[in-house]
Amino acid sequence: MQYHLIKSTTGMFTDHPTPPGGHLSRRSRRRFASAPAGPDGSTPRRAESVAMQAGKAAGSREGGRPLQLTMKRGYEVLRDPHLNKGMAFTLEERQQLNIHGLLPPCFLSQDVQVLTILKNFERLTSDLDRYILLMSLQDRNEKLFYKVLTSDIEKFMPIVYTPTVGLACQHYGLAFRRPRGLFITIHDRGHIAAMLKSWPESVIKAIVVTDGERILGLGDLGCYGMGIPVGKLALYTACGGVKPYECLPVMLDVGTDNEALLKDPLYIGLRHKRIRGQAYDDLLDEFMEAVTSSYGMNCLIQFEDFANVNAFRLLHKYRNKYCTFNDDIQGTASVAVAGLLAALRITKNRLSDHTVLFQGAGEAALGIANLIVMAMKKEGMSKDEAVKRIWMVDSKGLIVKGRASLTEEKSRFAHEHAEMRNLEDIVKDIKPSVLIGVAAIGGAFTKQIIQDMAAFNKNPIIFALSNPTSKAECTAEQCYKYTEGRGIFASGSPFDPVTLPNGKTLYPGQGNNSYVFPGVALGVISCGLKHIGEDVFLTTAEVIAQQVSEENLQEGRLYPPLVTIQQVSLKIAVRIAEEAYRNNTATTYPQPEDLEAFIRSQMYSTDYNSFVADSYTWPEDAMKVKL
Q: Which positions make up the binding site for (S)-malate?
A: 214, 467, 512
- Coil/strand/helix, residue 187: helix
- Coil/strand/helix, residue 340: helix
Catalytic residue among 161, 267, 280, 515: 161
Contact 258, 220 (CB under 8 A): yes
In degrees and rounded to multiples of 5, residue 274 shows phi and psi of: -60, 135
Task: Summarize the annotated binding site as residue ranges.
Answer: 214, 304-305, 328, 467, 512
Respond yes or no: is residue 581 known to be catalytic.
Answer: no
Contact 454, 489 (CB under 8 A): no
Task: Summarize the annotated binding site for a divalent metal cation as residue ranges.
Answer: 304-305, 328
| Distance between CA atoms of residues 26 and 132, nearest Å | 33
- Coil/strand/helix, residue 463: strand
| Distance between CA atoms of residues 348 and 369, nearest Å | 21
Respond yes or no: is residue 161 known to be catalytic.
Answer: yes
| Distance between CA atoms of residues 172 and 226, nearest Å | 8
Task: Name which of 429, 470, 435 is nearest 450 in CA terms.
Answer: 435
**Cis before residue 81, ω within 30 degrees of 0?**
no
| Distance between CA atoms of residues 213 and 59, nearest Å | 46
Catalytic residue among 232, 471, 481, 571: 232
The residue type found at 398 is L
| Distance between CA atoms of residues 44 and 37, nearest Å | 6
| Distance between CA atoms of residues 6 and 261, nearest Å | 49
Task: Name which of 41, 29, 31 is nearest 530 in CA terms.
Answer: 41
Terminal CA-to-CA distance of the chain, rounded, Å? 43
Integer angstrom CA distances of residue 547 from 27, 345, 560, 564:
41, 13, 6, 9
Give the length of the chain: 627
User: H helices of 431-469, where?
Assistant: 447-456
Just list the catalytic residues. 161, 232
